[in-house]
Structure 1
């Protein structure tokens, strides 16, 4: 997990480092930044000197002063606590995003089922006028017919429900199946994209742009890249820029972006 931003408390920092020289301030900050990004520091002095951007002999001179801020193994208690808090917040946001996607799919399926029922009743209304009226269901029959609840909806069922809604907007089934194939059959990930496409002003254009990004990413994925995410995400990560999933969108350099790389919020 990458960490695109780091909490900083100027008052606490100045109180703890009032005795440091300008050089020692710079080195301490470089160590803290590396620690935050990589969740730790290496034990070797040569590597610590490179991280600090100072020659090894100069590092050895100031090493005792800087070591006072760390525990054995170059562990930093304050940064460790902040990392733990950041991870917990990220996990909560991710869980909320997944729950929101499921709720959206359940609502769409209810709407689709209701529309299908109305169409069925309208087409058969005249025929039913001359047919014997059905007997009321027994309590047992009602229980069996109502046993399936929205909570039982699978990711695959949600996909077909979303697909039907997009077909009504002029998006072909083949286009949606192409998305699913590029997502390696991951219905949950495909549902996330279809939800956003259905909300877009031009659903077909949005879905087409996402598919092109995925195709480009799968054709030219550098070593270690994820072929199932948009190409711009892999490009940012390859350049050392953190990009994290946040609900249905992406968090990059303080902004929320959609799958096409367009800003949608802060």
Structure 2
């Protein structure tokens, strides 16, 4: 049985070979060749073949001859058999190449371990590179609790792996307390700007920022003034009537 999740479909050849099929027969034929590809053949029992093709007994009786024209004796398929043989050859070549790489990798690892053992026993006084590498890893592990403190304070928790790397580098340029204090101040900002990515914030030494205070927002207009209260002068009823009377007298002069 083929363990392959895909199969080659040569569209031009397919359309040339199946031009006489109905839509139902197209679907049945595709189901049959997909089953053939996965299993290497079709069953001998034609009732089972009809079920694979999702055809009723009546439909099978009507379409059997048209479908059989696309297969060889015993419902064999020469084109699919050739494609399966080609695919099996490719799989075998890839398997052999993988085994060769695996064997070579094991040999290289064994040689590296032997060289490492010799270097530890030598009298040169030069420490092995693997020890330096492990000490670097230990220093990064030592900063993990400090990063956790920073991460708890920082408001925009995105891209944690990149932030960890940036924090390790930032901890060389400043103390952990300075970084965390800056993050705490940044978390308390009151303006409506978007939060900065934590890796960018650390890489740009943003804990040193001293942002200006955002401008005060203008107060909302008083109801009924349309925002023009500073242009309007309040009049009493008596003042209004007097002004209207004076205006009327001027109009009759």
The TM tier, using the shorter chain, reads 0.3 to 0.5
- Of Structure 1 and Structure 2, the greater strand share is in 1
Could you say which structure has the greater relative contact order, defined with CA pairs below 8 angstroms and 6 or more residues apart?
1
Question: TM-score by structure 1 length?
Answer: 0.45
